[in-house]
């Protein structure tokens, strides 16, 4: 039984010094405090939230569940009012991500991150990657990585902290070139989109990969078909892990542990809910609904009750790894009408 590395990481982040494992009670109290803080912070700093949360009494929140009394934020807010959602001056922003929706003429969504916000993501990538790759390994990243603050760049920084080397090759556009680069770099772990990784697994050049070299693959996408996981595992003799995240979450949201029975979530940085998409009320535990989250630690542009459009559920019962962290089941799709996700470069 290997407990998820997210357990000791979150335990340290919330300042729990006693006990061997993360305490659910401590995490509950930590999340209550952070939620109070972030609501107070956005009301003081952001013109959007001042209006959006007008009429909400001070000190209304005595437990995380009370957050359900607040209105949601949506993609439309990110399209139309992103500057008013900022809580710091633009000179304090080090990364702006612009997300266009494919096949839509709607204004793009914009997300703003400070250096401190990006550091939170690097820290998550560092600890999340220890789930699936050993220190001193080589990790080939088939995700955008040229720009500072891009997913590949932040993942490389996280890997450096475990004495590993990341190579941000970028998305696969030419599979011959990608296979050549892979054979030269000799990675122990691959990170990429499901269909692109499948393309590499079916490429004739894969016979040149030394037996047992690649041990794991991390797939990042909003939906990962089980058939792709099965083919990758049998064809390359690897273990496939899945990551759940989106730019709005600060790229990272959660990752499977070695038992691969749901995602463990970044619960010290993000507070997750699952709601009934029709009524907006909290979904009954164990039923699929829309994933909603609130950022607990971001400073540039915090999001309060952001509706992701993703459909998933909290898994009941505890994970065999032994953590008290919650588990979210695989994303089953998007609610109708929600824009398709787009990866940024
Ligand atoms: Zn687990």
Q: pLDDT tens for residues 30-40? A: 999 999 999 99
257 alpha carbon – ligand 1 mean position (Å): 5
29 alpha carbon – ligand 1 mean position (Å): 22
Q: What is the mean pLDDT of the chain?
A: 94
8 alpha carbon – ligand 1 mean position (Å): 12
Q: Give yes or no for a contact between 201 and 234, defined as CB atoms under 8 angstroms apart.
A: no
The answer, yes or no, to whether residue 76 has pLDDT greater than 70, is: yes
Under DSSP, is residue 103 helix (H, G, I), strand (E, B) or coil? coil
pTM, entire model:
0.95
263 alpha carbon – ligand 1 mean position (Å): 8
The answer, yes or no, to whether residue 345 has pLDDT greater than 50, is: no
CA-based nearest residue to 275, from 73, 99, 119: 73
315 alpha carbon – ligand 1 mean position (Å): 11
Compute the distance between CA of residue 44 and CA of residue 38 in angstroms, rounded to an integer: 10
Compute the distance between CA of residue 301 and CA of residue 82 in angstroms, rounded to an integer: 8
DSSP 36-96: HHHHHHHHHH-HHHHHHTTTPPTT--SSGGGGGGSPPB-HHHHHH-HHHH--S-GGG--EE
- Strand 165-168 with 138-141, pairing: parallel
Q: Write the DSSP symbol of residue 115.
A: H
The answer, yes or no, to whether residue 276 has pLDDT greater than 50, is: yes
pLDDT tens sequence across 238-267: 999 999 999 999 999 999 999 999 999 999
% residues pLDDT > 70 (the chain):
96
Assign 3-class secondary structure to 27-44. HHHHHHHHHHHHHHHHHH
pLDDT of residue 344: 45
CATH of domain 6-334: 3.40.50.12780
Token readout for 261 is: 């029975």
Which long-range contacts (C-beta less than 8 Å, at least 24 apart) are formed by 51-54? 52/304, 53/304
The answer, yes or no, to whether residue 195 has pLDDT greater than 50, is: yes
Q: Give yes or no for a contact between 327 and 262, defined as CB atoms under 8 angstroms apart.
A: yes
The number of residues in the chain equals 345
pLDDT of residue 340: 57
Taking phi over 0 as left and psi of -120 to 50 as alpha, with beta for the rest, 258 belongs to: alpha
Structural domain spans, the chain: 6-334
131 alpha carbon – ligand 1 mean position (Å): 10
The answer, yes or no, to whether residue 102 has pLDDT greater than 60, is: yes
């Amino acid at each position: 039984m290997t407990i998820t590395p997210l357990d000791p990481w979150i335990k340290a982040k919330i300042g729990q010094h006693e006990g061997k494992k993360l305490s659910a009670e401590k995490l509950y109290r930590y999340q209550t405090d952070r939620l109070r803080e972030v609501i107070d912070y956005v009301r003081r700093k952001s013109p959007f939230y001042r209006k959006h949360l007008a009429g909400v009494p001070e000190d209304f929140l005595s437990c995380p569940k009370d957050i359900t009394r607040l209105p949601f934020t949506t993609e439309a807010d990110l399209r139309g009012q992103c500057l008013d959602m900022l809580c710091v001056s633009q000179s304090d922003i080090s990364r702006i991500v612009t997300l266009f929706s494919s096949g839509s003429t709607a204004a793009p969504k914009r997300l703003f991150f400070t250096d401190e916000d990006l550091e939170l993501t690097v820290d998550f990538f560092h600890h999340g990657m220890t789930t699936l790759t050993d220190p001193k390994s080589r990790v080939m990243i088939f995700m955008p990585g040229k720009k500072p603050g891009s997913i590949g760049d932040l993942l490389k920084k996280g890997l450096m902290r475990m004495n590993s080397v990341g190579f941000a090759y970028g998305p696969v556009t030419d599979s011959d070139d990608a296979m050549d680069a892979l054979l030269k770099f000799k990675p122990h772990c691959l990170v990429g989109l499901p269909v692109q990784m499948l393309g590499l697994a079916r490429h004739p050049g894969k016979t040149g990969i030394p037996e047992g070299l690649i041990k794991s693959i991390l797939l990042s996408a909003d939906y990962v078909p089980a058939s792709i996981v099965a083919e990758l595992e049998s064809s390359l003799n690897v273990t496939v892990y899945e990551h759940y995240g989106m730019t709005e979450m600060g790229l990272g949201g959660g990752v499977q542990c070695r038992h691969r029975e749901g995602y463990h979530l970044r619960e010290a940085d993000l507070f997750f809910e699952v709601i009934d998409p029709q009524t907006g009320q909290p979904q009954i535990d164990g039923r699929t609904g829309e994933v909603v989250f609130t950022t607990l630690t971001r400073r540039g542009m915090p999001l309060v009750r952001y509706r992701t459009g993703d459909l998933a559920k909290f898994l009941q019962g505890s994970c065999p790894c032994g953590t008290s962290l919650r588990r979210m089941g695989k994303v089953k799709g998007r609610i109708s009408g929600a824009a398709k996700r787009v990866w940024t470069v």
